[in-house]
Amino acid sequence: MTHDSRYIITEIRERADNEFIFGCSERIVASEEFTRLLNFFRNRGWDIKQIDERSLPKDFHHNNSSGYIITKKKEEPFEDA
């Protein structure tokens, strides 16, 4: 995927290991299967947040990218009531 050079991620800094960017032409983010994949991870304790699109590159056709940050949720300590 070719990117415009004005965006924070990929031009000002590299992606972190837990950041994933998908181009519009990949059409993966619009698929039901991709949503199912995200829900699979969320249901197993992972937190998945969308990256603000202003930080993401656009391709040379000015199509928006979609980006996600994936982190493991911290275990809540058990409190005896």
Residue 38 lies in a domain: yes
pLDDT computed for residue 61 by the predictor: 77
pLDDT of residue 26: 65
Cβ-Cβ contacts under 8 Å for 50 (sequence gap 6 or more):
66, 67, 68, 69
- Domain residue limits at 43: 8-72
- Residue 79 covered by a domain: no
Domains: count for the chain: 1
pLDDT above 70: percentage of residues in the chain: 73
Does residue 13 belong to any structural domain of this protein?
Answer: yes
Identify the pLDDT of residue 65: 85
The answer to whether residue 80 sits within a structural domain is no
With 60 as the cut, is the pLDDT of residue 4 above it? no
Alpha helices by DSSP H, 1-81: 32-42
Tell me whether residue 50 is in a domain. Answer: yes
| pLDDT single digits (tens) 32-64 | 888 888 899 999 999 999 999 888 888 777 788
